[in-house]
């Protein structure tokens, strides 16, 4: 498997507004402790895009994980949005559709897409505001999400659900606007093959990194520097040395950057059993779900 030198993790947000306290960016290079990029800074999605553009231009030897989903369920119905004539055929076409319908929204928000009468039908927007094609129960799940639930590796929530603290639908839609701009200059695994040089994007789930260090599923957030150092030690990483409280967004990014470094040289995360070419083109995969 290809070796990387730098490992970055982006904790993401789909909330409205220019700047988001929920965004954090961390980098683990070589064998050093991970570090926050611009600690204390309140990031905008545009600034994260600029940073990624710079990485793409520099051809840095970097594996970059983003904490949102690159796509929606497709395999279960043979479409992202059944009964919609404009339903896209693959991930890049999905990102282009989200961008086209959200182009007037500032700060990479996605209100225009969600307001479209055909798009609205597929999402749970709020209590009492549920599209007629939103699947009852948890909502439609990608193959990777069903698989991680079945194998108890993670407990995903449908990207068609836009309600509650655990929802990732809005964040994923906002992230798709960035992917539309970055691809294919920044390749995305498994849609694209792993390049011999340069940077590569992968989808991550920060809770998976926390569980790998022994943090229980119900307590996957780390908010203390000493607890973060203990978790980093299980990954063979030097301590950060932060004293006292730390935001869970920062700790998620820091821990996941170190986890990517520990996992990337293994073969198993790159060849998950259920993954095939059709899924790679339409649904993608979460790195580390094997």
pLDDT confidence bin for 220, thresholds 50/70/90: low
Determine, yes or no, domain membership for 104.
Answer: yes
What confidence score (pLDDT) does residue 279 get? 98
What pLDDT does 260 receive?
98
Q: How many domains does the chain have?
A: 2
Confidence of residue 156 (pLDDT cuts 50, 70, 90): confident
Looking at the domain assignment, is residue 275 inside a domain? no
Give the model's pLDDT for residue 60.
98
**What pLDDT is stored for residue 164 in this prediction?**
87
Give the end of a domain, one of 148, 181, 214. Answer: 181
| pLDDT of amino acid 218 | 60
- Give the domain range for residue 55: 6-69+185-270
Q: Tell me, yes or no, whether 55 and 189 share the same domain.
A: yes
Name the average pLDDT for the chain. 96
Query: Is residue 125 located within the same domain as residue 264?
Result: no
Average pLDDT for 146-163? 93
129-130/35-36 β-pairing: unpaired
Residue with the bigger pLDDT between 12 and 214: it is: 12
Can you give the pLDDT at residue 215?
Answer: 82
Based on the fold, state whether residues 263 and 189 are members of the same structural domain: yes
Residues 150 and 194 in one domain: no
Q: For residue 204, what pLDDT is reported?
A: 97
Residue 168 has a CB neighbour count (10 Å cut-off) of 20
Structure confidence at residue 219 as a pLDDT band (50, 70, 90):
low
Identify the pLDDT of residue 217. 61
* H-helix segments, the chain: 45-58, 91-102, 111-115, 117-120, 143-150, 169-182, 206-212, 225-234, 248-263, 277-282
Take residue 14 and report the two structure tokens written for it.
Answer: 């789909």
Residues 167 and 155 in one domain: yes
Q: What is the pLDDT of residue 32?
A: 98
* The pLDDT value given to residue 247: 95
Q: Is residue 210 part of a domain?
A: yes
**What pTM was estimated for this model as a whole?**
0.96
Query: Domain check: are 174 and 104 in the same one?
Result: yes
Task: Please count the CA atoms within 13 angstroms of the CA of 169 that sit on its side-chain side.
Answer: 26
172 and 190 fall within a common domain: no
Cα gap 64→181, rounded to integer Å:
16
| In a domain? residue 103 | yes
Averaged pLDDT for residues 246-268? 97
In the chain, the percentage of residues whose pLDDT exceeds 70 is 98
Q: Is residue 165 located within the same domain as residue 211? A: no
Same domain as 104, residue 158? yes
184-205 b/e with 16+ CB inside 10 Å = b? eebbbbbbeeeeeeebbbbbbb
85 pLDDT above the threshold of 90: yes
74 domain-assigned: no
Does any domain span residue 204? yes
End position of a domain, from candidates 144, 166, 181: 181
Are 173 and 193 part of one and the same domain? Answer: no
Do 204 and 266 share a domain, yes or no? Answer: yes
Question: In this structure, is residue 77 part of a structural domain?
Answer: no
Q: What is the pLDDT of residues 17-48, one digit of tens each?
A: 999 999 999 999 999 999 999 999 999 999 99
For range 83-94, the mean pLDDT: 98
């Amino acid at each position: 498997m290809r070796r990387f030198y730098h490992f970055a993790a982006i904790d993401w947000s789909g909330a409205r507004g220019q700047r988001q306290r929920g965004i954090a960016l961390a980098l683990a290079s070589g064998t050093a402790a991970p570090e926050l990029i611009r600690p204390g800074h309140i990031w905008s999605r545009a600034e994260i895009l600029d940073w990624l553009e710079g990485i793409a231009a520099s051809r840095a030897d970097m594996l970059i994980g983003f904490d949102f989903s690159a796509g929606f369920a497709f395999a279960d119905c043979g479409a992202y949005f059944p009964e919609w004539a404009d339903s896209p055929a693959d991930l890049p076409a999905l990102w282009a559709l989200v961008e086209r319908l959200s182009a007037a929204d500032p700060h990479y928000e996605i209100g225009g897409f969600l307001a479209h009468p055909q798009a609205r039908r597929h999402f749970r927007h709020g209590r009492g505001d549920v599209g007629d094609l939103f699947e009852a129960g948890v909502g439609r799940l990608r193959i990777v999400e069903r698989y991680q639930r079945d194998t108890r590796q993670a407990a995903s929530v449908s990207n068609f659900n836009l309600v509650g603290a655990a929802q990732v639908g809005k964040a994923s839609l906002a992230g798709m606007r960035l992917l539309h701009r970055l691809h294919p200059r920044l390749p995305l695994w498994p849609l694209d093959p792993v390049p011999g040089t340069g940077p590569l994007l992968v989808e991550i789930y920060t809770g998976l990194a926390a569980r790998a260090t022994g943090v229980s599923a119900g307590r996957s957030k780390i908010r203390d520097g000493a607890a973060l150092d203990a978790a980093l030690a299980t990954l063979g990483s030097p301590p950060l040395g932060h004293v006292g409280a730390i935001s869970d967004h920062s700790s998620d990014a820091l821990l996941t950057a170190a986890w990517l470094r520990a996992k990337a040289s293994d073969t198993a995360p790159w060849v998950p059993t259920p993954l095939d070419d059709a899924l790679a083109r339409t649904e993608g995969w979460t790195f580390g779900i094997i």
